[in-house]
């Protein structure tokens, strides 16, 4: 598999090159040049196979020939060793719980997979790899625990001061070893900008071997397909095709969802459910992409004013608004609406939801109301 930049001005590279570089030399994001499609019969078989086997079959075409099959099997087996639970609230409403990993964050999927993948790739390197990552909370925890103790890799985590919970901060600031946290006087977008500046600094890149663990790195994005497939394989056949509401910030989850659709997953529509940082829903309405400074909300992991994965969404949709609108419907939720939704989920279904899940629920409700 070859990987190319969304900016289309950089040479094609291998998965190894894309993962270790993180960002393409032209500033674009790496994308696979082709996506292998699974037949309906194969998808039906996914319902019966062990989840580890399913993940292996999904990711293997994206890693051939860079990663031998037996190595990829070991990576998947070690990384995805916790349950993915689908909770049915009603015949038409299901919630996929992604908090059963070691740091209780959905990013355990991507971070643990990527750490092991990078660990395999750096074995042949003569200098240490420095992983730069910006976090609004859960990325830092998942990446720190995923990379802790991996030989040949050191991790630097940038996080916004007083913008994340105390528990999350302690998860990645107390580990030591090869994990270095840096508190930034600014927003998450400021942290992301610093990371991008580091990758664009030619002199710095000569002196240090840098890559990223944010969802700009294709090595973290690919395993995010796994839980879209996990939802499909646990749903009754009558629930297919799917409408998937994705709580969205940097849009890695939704991008991975479209990847999953491209490999054959029967999805009718994705809902981009955001908080008031609604740059993408506004784009879907107006056709204008206008990044702005992020606003702090209760769903803080989604407080992103300039979503990193937007170029990938455009790439998957041929760069045209009408194709993006065909795949994605957008919705914006305020903090007040989020609190009401959390109460509704508890009172109506007996389900305790966090603010991010509540934002996803609001997107689903709004879509059903209009359609």
Decide if 25 is inside a domain. Answer: no
Whole-angstrom distance, CA of residue 260 vs CA of residue 271: 15
Domain CATH for 157: 3.40.50.1100
Decide if 31 is inside a domain. Answer: no
Q: Would you state the pLDDT for residue 238?
A: 62
From the list 69, 138, 88, the residue with the least C-alpha distance to 350 is 88
Q: Are 292 and 279 in contact (CB under 8 A)?
A: yes
Decide if 357 is inside a domain. Answer: yes
User: Which is more confident, 155 or 139?
Assistant: 155
Decide if 265 is inside a domain. Answer: yes
From the list 230, 220, 244, 361, the residue with the least C-alpha distance to 299 is 361
The domain of 298 spans 241-371
- The strand pairing partners of 30, in sequence order, are 5
Whether 277 and 363 share a structural domain: yes
Domains identified in the chain, total number? 2
Examine the pLDDT at 14 and tell me if it is beyond 80.
yes
Report pLDDT digits (tens) over 22-48.
889 898 999 999 999 999 999 999 999
Report pLDDT digits (tens) over 48-90.
999 999 999 999 999 999 999 999 999 999 999 999 999 999 9
Report pLDDT digits (tens) over 233-285.
999 876 678 999 999 999 999 999 999 999 999 999 999 999 999 999 999 99
Examine the pLDDT at 165 and tell me if it is beyond 90.
no
From the list 67, 68, 62, 69, the residue with the least C-alpha distance to 31 is 62
Examine the pLDDT at 132 and tell me if it is beyond 80.
yes
Decide if 7 is inside a domain. Answer: no
Examine the pLDDT at 301 and tell me if it is beyond 80.
yes
Answer positive or negative: Cα dihedral of 92, 352, 214, 366.
positive
Q: In this structure, are strands 209-212 and 242-247 parallel, antiparallel, or unpaired?
A: unpaired
What does pTM read for this prediction? 0.91
**Of 174, 203, 218, at which residue does a domain stop?**
218
Whether 258 and 202 share a structural domain: no
Q: Would you state the pLDDT for residue 136?
A: 76
* Full DSSP string of 133-183: EE-SSHHHHHHHHHHTT-TTEEEEEEEETTSS-HHHHHHHHS--TTEEEEE
Decide if 121 is inside a domain. Answer: yes
Distance, CA of 30 to chain centre: 14
Examine the pLDDT at 126 and tell me if it is beyond 90.
no
- Residue 199 CA: distances (Å) to CA of 28, 129, 215, 260, 316: 11, 13, 15, 29, 24
Q: Would you state the pLDDT for residue 337?
A: 99
């Amino acid at each position: 598999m070859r990987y190319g930049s969304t900016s289309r001005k950089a040479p094609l590279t291998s998965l190894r090159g894309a993962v270790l570089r993180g960002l393409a030399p032209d500033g674009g994001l790496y994308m696979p040049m082709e996506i292998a499609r699974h037949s309906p019969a194969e998808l039906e078989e996914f319902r019966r196979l062990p989840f580890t086997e399913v993940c292996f079959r999904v990711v293997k075409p994206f890693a051939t020939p860079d990663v031998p099959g037996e190595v990829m099997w070991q990576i998947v087996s070690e990384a995805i060793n916790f349950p993915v639970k689908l909770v049915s609230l009603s015949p038409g409403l299901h919630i996929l719980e992604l908090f059963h990993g070691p740091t209780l964050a959905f990013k355990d999927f991507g971070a643990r997979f990527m750490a092991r993948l990078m660990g395999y790739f750096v074995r042949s390197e003569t200098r240490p790899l420095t992983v730069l990552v910006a976090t609004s909370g859960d990325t830092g925890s998942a990446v720190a625990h995923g990379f802790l103790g991996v030989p040949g890799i050191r991790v630097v985590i940038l996080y916004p001061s007083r913008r994340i919970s105390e528990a999350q901060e302690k998860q990645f600031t107390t580990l030591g070893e090869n994990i270095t946290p840096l508190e930034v006087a600014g927003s998450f977008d400021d942290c992301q900008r610093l990371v991008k500046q580091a990758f664009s600094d030619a002199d710095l890149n000569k002196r240090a071997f840098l890559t990223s663990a944010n969802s700009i790195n294709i090595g973290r994005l690919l395993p995010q397909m796994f839980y879209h497939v996990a939802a499909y394989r646990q749903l009754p056949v009558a629930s297919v095709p799917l409408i998937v509401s994705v709580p969205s910030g940097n849009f890695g989850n939704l991008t991975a969802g479209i990847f999953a659709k491209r490999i054959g997953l029967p999805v009718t529509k994705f809902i981009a459910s955001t908080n008031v940082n609604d740059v993408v829903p506004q784009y879907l309405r107006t056709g204008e992409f206008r990044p702005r400074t992020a606003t702090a909300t209760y769903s803080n992991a989604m407080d992103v004013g300039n979503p990193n994965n937007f170029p990938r969404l455009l790439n998957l949709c041929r760069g045209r608004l009408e194709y993006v609108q065909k795949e994605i419907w957008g919705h914006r939720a305020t903090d007040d609406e989020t609190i009401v939704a959390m109460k509704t989920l508890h009172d109506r279904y007996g389900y305790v939801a966090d603010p991010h899940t509540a934002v996803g629920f609001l997107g689903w409700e709004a879509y059903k109301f209009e359609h």
